[in-house]
Amino acid sequence: MQDLPGELSDIVAVMVGVSVEGPYSYRVPAGLSVVRGSIVAVPLVGRSTLGVVWGAPADNFAHNRLKDVERVFDVPPLSEELLRTVDWVSRYTLSPPGLVLRSVLRSSEALEPERAVTAFRATGLEPEKLTRSREKVLDLLMDGEAWAKAALVGASGVSASVIEGLERSGAIERLEVPPPPIVLRPDPDAAPPTLSAEQQAALDQIRSLEVDRFGVALLDGVTGGGKTEVFFEAVADTLRAGRQALILLPEIALSNTFLTRFARRFGTRPGEWHSDMTPVQRARTWRGVADGTIRAVVGARSALFLPFHELGMIVLDEEHDGAFKQSDGVNYHARDMAVVRARFAGARVILSSATPSVESRNNANQGRYKHVLLTSRFAEAALPDISPIDMREEPPDKGQWIAPRLAREVFATLDRGEQALLFLNRRGYAPLTLCKSCGHQYQCPDCSAWLVEHRFRGVLMCHHCGHEQRTPKSCSACGADDSLIAIGPGIERVAEEAAARFPGARMVILSSDMGSHTQLKQRFAEIETGEYDLIIGTQLVAKGHHFEKLSLVGVLDADLGLDRGDPRAAERTFQILTQVTGRAGRASRAGKAFLQTYHPTHPVIQAMIRGDREAFYAHELAAREAGGLPPFGRLAALIISANEHDPAFEFARRLLSAAPMAEGLKLFGPADAPIAMIRGRHRVRLLAQSGKDFDLSGYVRFWLDNGPKATGNLRVQVDIDPQSFM
């Protein structure tokens, strides 16, 4: 398909925002004009549907059978770089382009003109009666400006009826004005920090990437190294150069702390983009990004598809975080797709992390990304001292999970008036419940997974599908009373033990199921101001937080995840242990961390104890290279699912036998997935592994196009570069 410059002829290809394989042709009626990227409404099977003009039609259609474009929206056409990104993501992930486009057309309200708001302005006439309240309003309007009604009510503290009375008296007049901008323009020179010498050197390295060219920097710095300050300066450069900046955070880290830091540096909050926004906020942000009034956005991964026109920089904070991988709908990794979009946009990318992904580290080692290091903590803060607690030699007492040495450290920390964090990456009370009379183990009816007891809420719950049932009083298999016992710890159980052992401590439990985002943000703020002494949490607390008084971190199960047969297990464990122990001692207090482990000699645990991150990367890169695993090779996972096991398995076998031969390509499976059933769907996996320079997406597309077709309730899901092997 050709890109037509400027105005297109009377027939155009329109990509509709639904799951279809390519654009459809429509006629542009007289009176409408479109260009590539114009957002339009077109009829599709009897319904008006949003779409985007993609270019000239591929074929010559019989003109008389085409339907007309119904409407062209009055918003700037999407930029060329965004259209190319959509095509690229679609090809790479094997998702229909219309489905990817849906991530762009996320707010239909944004396409309508903004609704005006009611405002008032002084006329200069005196009202016949001047009360105290009326005076307050008139004082505000002395500035001669039109004030939005809501703002006037807010600032004067009077009721709306006072304002209406003034209007009737003729002293003020009503007018309709555009709503005030959702955020102000950030000022790159509002409050620049004084950087340390090391930070300045890091910034200089980033600045050696030209501001108007594609380039990637890996900002690889210890936790508390002051990476945010450094990338904020690079954002300031981008704003000064007249371009827009996007900062992506793993969703939960869209914390007030980060937004406040942005506001302190740039004098105003950034545009925001995340799942907690109202449709109106969404629409206004989308529009502001498209028309260029919003210059900087802080958002979750989906912000990558916002309609920027002057995108000059994308920052991924905590670039290693698993939350950047989307795994429903379009399976994309925001880190990789950010690099793709930046390439099309001629923008710079900063990947920031204390524990970079093995992929990014390799790209930096190879010189594809500029490797920018921050090796010491900002100011007097030092990295925590990390020690192992060998659980075979110093086990906790029976029925307890906190080893005696760790408990003594908690006491000492509390005595000094400092905070301690006990970390266990398991929600709920216990991961397994069984009946001690009959041995019955409580399992999800729809998944191959144990039900996890959540004692606070009195339920047994499946962490894969969300299935819940009340914890029974008597065994549902044998009927025995009070016979259920909890096996293993979750954080609720650790909290129960901690409450008994440290009775004076003010304690808080934090995991993603412990309240709404707003409530969780509130808890974090309270921890920051020192309202708690003891924090018990899952990985939710490991990410990016800065708690000044926290000086002790105890990891209750440092081995969690290490013994799984997952190629990324070591990397993930290393990242989470570094992040969580990195919460300790971020201010002037010296921090200490303890790892309870059964494998003190494991390379990951050893690298942690010795503070030798380079040893970890060297070991892990060597292991990946030996196995031909990413980043030295490519993987694609195919999940075949069905309502019954055997048809899924049988289809996977047929698919495998239809796979074309290719040099250097290996296929594994079929095998039941580690979680063999989710939501009643049986899951069978095939895995394709290839060399690094092989077009694995292209291969899988060819294979599926030419192989047997999934019919009935069979489904094939493709995951290129899978992050999870469940």
Shortest distance, position 714 Cβ to Zn ion, whole Å: 21
Pick 447 or 560: Cβ nearer Zn ion:
447
Q: Does 229 bind ligand ADP (CB under 6 A)?
A: yes
460 phi, psi to nearest 5 deg = -105, 135
Among positions 227, 274, 335, 602, the unique one binding ligand ADP when judged by CB under 6 A: 227
Shortest distance, position 193 Cβ to ligand ADP, whole Å: 4
Q: Which of 496, 515, 517 is nearest to 507 (CA)?
A: 496
Which one of 44-52, 84-92, 175-183, 463-471 is the stretch in contact with Zn ion (CB under 5 A)?
A: 463-471
Length of the chain: 726
144 phi, psi to nearest 5 deg = 80, -5
Q: Does 690 bind ligand ADP (CB under 6 A)?
A: no
Closest residue to ligand ADP, judged by C-beta, is 226
Shortest distance, position 547 Cβ to ligand ADP, whole Å: 10
Shortest distance, position 677 Cβ to Zn ion, whole Å: 8
Q: Does 224 bind ligand ADP (CB under 6 A)?
A: yes
Q: Which two tokens stand for residue 623?
A: 């292991």
Q: Does 356 bind ligand ADP (CB under 6 A)?
A: no
Shortest distance, position 414 Cβ to ligand ADP, whole Å: 24
Which one of 151-159, 216-224, 359-367, 563-571 is the stretch in contact with ligand ADP (CB under 6 A)?
A: 216-224
**Which entry of ligand ADP, Zn ion, none binds 223, CB below 5 to 8 A by partner kind?**
ligand ADP
Q: Does 195 bind ligand ADP (CB under 6 A)?
A: yes
Q: How many CB atoms lie within 10 A of CB 241?
A: 14
> Dihedral (C-alpha) 254, 259, 262, 268: value to the nearest 10 degrees?
140
Which one of 222-230, 236-244, 294-302, 386-394 is the stretch in contact with ligand ADP (CB under 6 A)?
A: 222-230
Do residues 73 and 113 touch, judged by C-beta distance below 8 A? no
The 3 state secondary structure assigned to 416-482 is CCCEEEEECCCCCCECEEEECCCCCECECCCCCCECEEECCCCEEECCCCCCEEECCCECCCCCCEC
Q: Does 201 bind ligand ADP (CB under 6 A)?
A: no
Q: Residue type at 493? A: R
Which one of 5-13, 73-81, 221-229, 398-406 is the stretch in contact with ligand ADP (CB under 6 A)?
A: 221-229
- 406, 442, 578 from 553: Cα distances, Å: 9, 33, 11
Q: Does 226 bind ligand ADP (CB under 6 A)?
A: yes
Rounded distance, CA 718 to CA 701, Å? 9
**Which entry of ligand ADP, Zn ion, none binds 467, CB below 5 to 8 A by partner kind?**
Zn ion
Rounded distance, CA 119 to CA 121, Å? 7
Pick 341 or 370: Cβ nearer ligand ADP:
370
Pick 221 or 670: Cβ nearer ligand ADP:
221
Q: Does 419 bind ligand ADP (CB under 6 A)?
A: no
Strands (E), 393-483: 419-423, 432-435, 452-454, 459-461, 468-470
> Strand, coil or helix: what is 197?
helix
Q: Does 193 bind ligand ADP (CB under 6 A)?
A: yes
Contacts to ligand ADP from residues 533-572, by CB under 6 A: 546
Shortest distance, position 290 Cβ to Zn ion, whole Å: 41
Shortest distance, position 188 Cβ to ligand ADP, whole Å: 16
Instruction: Work out whether strand 47-55 and strand 24-27 pair parallel, antiparallel, or are unpaired.
Output: unpaired
362 phi, psi to nearest 5 deg = -65, -45
Rounded distance, CA 177 to CA 185, Å? 20
Contacts to ligand ADP from residues 600-639, by CB under 6 A: none
Pick 220 or 559: Cβ nearer ligand ADP:
220
Rounded distance, CA 53 to CA 38, Å? 5
Beta bridge partners, 550, equal 419
Q: Does 221 bind ligand ADP (CB under 6 A)?
A: yes
Shortest distance, position 444 Cβ to Zn ion, whole Å: 3
Q: Which two tokens stand for residue 648?
A: 């899924």
Pick 223 or 511: Cβ nearer ligand ADP:
223
Q: Which two tokens stand for residue 458?
A: 């009195």
First to last CA, the chain: 39
The residue count for binding Zn ion (CB under 5 A) is 7
Do residues 316 and 351 touch, judged by C-beta distance below 8 A? yes
438 phi, psi to nearest 5 deg = -110, -10
Which one of 192-200, 519-527, 617-625, 676-684 is the stretch in contact with ligand ADP (CB under 6 A)?
A: 192-200
Pick 225 or 591: Cβ nearer ligand ADP:
225
Pick 426 or 549: Cβ nearer Zn ion:
426
Supply the DSSP symbol for 516. -
Q: Which two tokens stand for residue 271?
A: 């545009």
Q: Does 228 bind ligand ADP (CB under 6 A)?
A: yes
Pick 155 or 191: Cβ nearer ligand ADP:
191
Q: Does 355 bind ligand ADP (CB under 6 A)?
A: no
Supply the DSSP symbol for 260. H
Among positions 252, 294, 358, 447, the unique one binding Zn ion when judged by CB under 5 A: 447
Q: Residue type at 250? A: P
Q: Does 353 bind ligand ADP (CB under 6 A)?
A: no
Pick 317 or 409: Cβ nearer ligand ADP:
317
> Strand, coil or helix: what is 12?
strand
Q: Which of 361, 421, 365, 720 is nearest to 571 (CA)?
A: 361
Which one of 192-200, 392-400, 420-428, 447-455 is the stretch in contact with Zn ion (CB under 5 A)?
A: 447-455
Shortest distance, position 381 Cβ to ligand ADP, whole Å: 7
DSSP letter string, 630-650: TTSEEEEEEEEEESSHHHHHH
Do residues 13 and 23 touch, judged by C-beta distance below 8 A? yes
**Which entry of ligand ADP, Zn ion, none binds 634, CB below 5 to 8 A by partner kind?**
none
Which one of 129-137, 220-228, 462-470, 653-661 is the stretch in contact with ligand ADP (CB under 6 A)?
A: 220-228
Q: Does 35 bind Zn ion (CB under 5 A)?
A: no
Among positions 464, 653, 701, 715, the unique one binding Zn ion when judged by CB under 5 A: 464
Q: Residue type at 387? A: S
Pick 266 or 378: Cβ nearer ligand ADP:
378
Beta bridge partners, 389, equal 596
Pick 260 or 643: Cβ nearer ligand ADP:
260
Contacts to ligand ADP from residues 368-397, by CB under 6 A: 378
Q: Residue type at 173? A: E
DSSP letter string, 301-364: GGGGGS--SSEEEEEEETTT-GGGB--SSS--BHHHHHHHHHHHHT-EEEEEESS--HHHHHHH
Under the rule (CB under 5 A), what is the footprint of Zn ion? 444, 446-447, 462, 464-465, 467
Under the rule (CB under 6 A), what is the footprint of ligand ADP? 193-196, 199, 221, 223-229, 378, 546
